[in-house]
Structure 1
Amino acid sequence: MIKLFAGVIPMELRHLRYFIAVAEELNFTRAALRVGIGQPPLSQQIRDLEKELGASLFRRLPHGVELTRVGEAFLPEARAVLDQANRAARTAQRASRGEYGRLRVGFTGSAAFRPEVPAAIRDFRRRYPHVDLTLEEAPTADLIERLMTGDLDAAFVRPGRSNPEGMRVRDLGAEAMMAVLPAAHRLARSSSIPFAALAGEPLVLFPRTAGPGFFDAIMEACRRAGFEPVLGSVAPQLTSVANLVAAGMGVSVVPESVAQVRVQGVRYRRLTGEPPVAHLVLVTRLVEESIVVSNFLGLVSARG
């Protein structure tokens, strides 16, 4: 039921559809065929509508009908109400398919360099242009916390030793790590170097609190190679590592995708032996009811 005219007249949408059909056909027989009911029921529905309105909408003629002045005034309003009802129905249907709503995605600084991440964001925006999509860069630990508190819906992060409680983790694969060296460093002369060759070199890394899994993987790789790492300067974030290496603060190890960051005075070299690898995962809440988030997960999975 809908209410028109300050809420005093209850009216069903079908009454409006029947009225518009008769008003456009100006013939009850053709209008009845158009709306798919018999002519007598259609005539009765129009009489019921006129009774509710307290006015005649049609003037009966020998071979059809014509609109009265009331009918002429009522027609554009009836069309507008029906159009609005149809728009509302379409909006509800699109919302139920996740075509409306919001999606808040977080990512670590290094994750942004993996081609899968910008590609997933780009594809989602193209496929769901009416979803309010926001992006936030932060360390892994902060992103997980924001997922837990409901401030984010999904996050691309470097995983830790175990999956966060209450979270679903989707593995997006691993990538090789590369050495970051000052251009004048003796090891920079080779196209690849053994990981063990970094022994004794001060390592420029970001804080363990920002990405414990990633940090620990580097430490473990050093010990597997037979040396205890020497920790040098701390970079505020992974993308700042190259700048500190260029300043002569030490050497570092970064995911291969981060080698896109070109800094004067720095060389990236492939590592041999048993270097660490950098994993990337997409994390969402284990219990997730949002169809928008489900659509995003499906799109990322389809790409993988």
Structure 2
Amino acid sequence: MELRRLRYFVAVAEEGNVTRAAERLGIGQPPLSQQILTLERELDVPLFHRTGHGMSLTEAGKALMVDARRLLNDAQSAVANAQRAGRGETGHLHLGLTASAAFHPIVRALIRAFRANYPGVALTLTEGTTTQLLALLEEGRLDLALMRPGTHSFAGIALYQIASEPMKVVLPAGHRLAKLRRIPLTALAGESFVLIPREESPMLHDEILNACRLAGFEPVPGQQAPQLSSVVNLVSAEFGVSIVPASVSQIRAEGVVYVDIADVNVVTNLALASRDAEPSAKVVNFLALADQARSAASAGARGHPAKRRKAKEADHAQA
């Protein structure tokens, strides 16, 4: 049974007249009458009482009318659902993020914006190390991942930078440098560093080591920590010092202080990673919102007097 014939049937039943139904459907009266007769032959029951005043439904026609309306509504819903899915407005988006990425304000703003703009998409967050997130991406268990890529590139992975931020030194509160507002990295030469193992977060690990090497010294490896919150806690326990993204200074652990770094090139980038294959509409939508969030954050930094110097320093660092 063709949906087209059901639409014709419903139109004739609602109008009670073939001429008016034909005008409503935008087709000729003879073809419409023929389609109704074909439907009746297909079902092997009369659907209409035909009188000089018009057409009325038989008992079979009344029964069909109920199901025909439901089927037509279901067909319209199916089309609408397919179109919404094609536009990335329904379904499920699996987003991974590292612990350090979760602290950045642009990440919170981006997640809020996606949920507000695409309420029909279920968003699942998975936290993990960079290595774990890359593996989940490759396996297809994540659609996107927020991470700090440093200068690395990965086969089969596309990276979209969305933010850049300075790094800070985190020191025990009783450290000799703790009362200073800004220090050069050279002041940390000879200090024991609390670091996340490279196998857990190769990008952030390498960024910290490279920053120290550019400053002219090799950091002394000390106690290792599985994640940034552990780094801060170990510094608080005076296991050593460390360098963290500025947004991590939101962790207000007792016994630590965060100090700005005088070296303007000590910055870390935040990026969205996706599989290099053709992205889904949901991924494209998320990336578009990320681009908007990046532009808004950049405009805000340049427009606010207190932030202009930091924006200039970040631009200089990326040049």
The TM-score normalised by the length of structure 1 is 0.91
Which of the numbers 81, 87, 96 marks the counterpart of 2:86? Answer: 96
Moved more, 71-80 or 156-165: 156-165
C-alpha contact 1:195 1:275 (8 A) present in aligned 2: no
C-alpha contact 1:175 1:279 (8 A) present in aligned 2: yes
C-alpha contact 1:170 1:283 (8 A) present in aligned 2: yes
C-alpha contact 1:195 1:274 (8 A) present in aligned 2: no
Give yes or no for the alignment of 1:241 onto 2:234.
no
1:222-301 maps to which residues of 2 (within 5 A)?
222-273=212-263, 276-301=266-291
After superposition, the C-alpha distances for 1:82-114 in whole angstroms (9 at most, x for unaligned) are 111111111111122222333221111000111
Which of the numbers 31, 34, 37 marks the counterpart of 1:44? Answer: 34
Partner SS, residue 102 of structure 1? strand
Quote the Cα distance in structure 2 between the aligned partners of 1:86 and 1:273. 61
C-alpha contact 1:199 1:228 (8 A) present in aligned 2: yes
1:29-108 maps to which residues of 2 (within 5 A)?
29-108=19-98
Quote the Cα distance in structure 2 between the aligned partners of 1:275 and 1:99. 40
Quote the Cα distance in structure 1 between the aligned partners of 2:184 and 2:279. 48
CA displacement at 1:274 relative to structure 2? 5.3
Give yes or no for the alignment of 1:137 onto 2:127.
yes
C-alpha contact 1:57 1:70 (8 A) present in aligned 2: yes
C-alpha contact 2:162 2:272 (8 A) present in aligned 1: yes
Which ranges of structure 1 fall in alignment gaps of 5 or more residues?
A: 1-10
CA displacement at 1:135 relative to structure 2? 1.5
C-alpha contact 2:150 2:268 (8 A) present in aligned 1: no
Give yes or no for the alignment of 1:212 onto 2:202.
yes
Quote the Cα distance in structure 1 between the aligned partners of 2:61 and 2:281. 44
CA displacement at 1:199 relative to structure 2? 1.9
4+ residue stretches of structure 1 with deviation over 3 A? none
* Partner residue in 2 for 1:7: none
Partner SS, residue 172 of structure 1? strand
CA displacement at 1:207 relative to structure 2? 0.7
The RMSD of aligned alpha carbons is 1.7
CA displacement at 1:303 relative to structure 2? 2.5
Give yes or no for the alignment of 1:111 onto 2:111.
no
C-alpha contact 1:23 1:67 (8 A) present in aligned 2: yes
* Partner residue in 2 for 1:3: none
CA displacement at 1:172 relative to structure 2? 2.0
Q: How many residues align?
A: 294
* Partner residue in 2 for 1:302: 292
What percent of counterpart residues are identical? 53
Seen in structure 2, the aligned counterparts of structure 1 residues 274 and 74 have a Cα distance that, compared at 3 Å, is: closer
After superposition, the C-alpha distances for 1:203-258 in whole angstroms (9 at most, x for unaligned) are 11111112222212222222332333122211110122111111121111110011
C-alpha contact 1:225 1:274 (8 A) present in aligned 2: no
Give yes or no for the alignment of 1:20 onto 2:10.
yes
Quote the Cα distance in structure 2 between the aligned partners of 1:84 and 1:46. 22
Quote the Cα distance in structure 2 between the aligned partners of 1:22 and 1:36. 13
Quote the Cα distance in structure 2 between the aligned partners of 1:275 and 1:233. 26
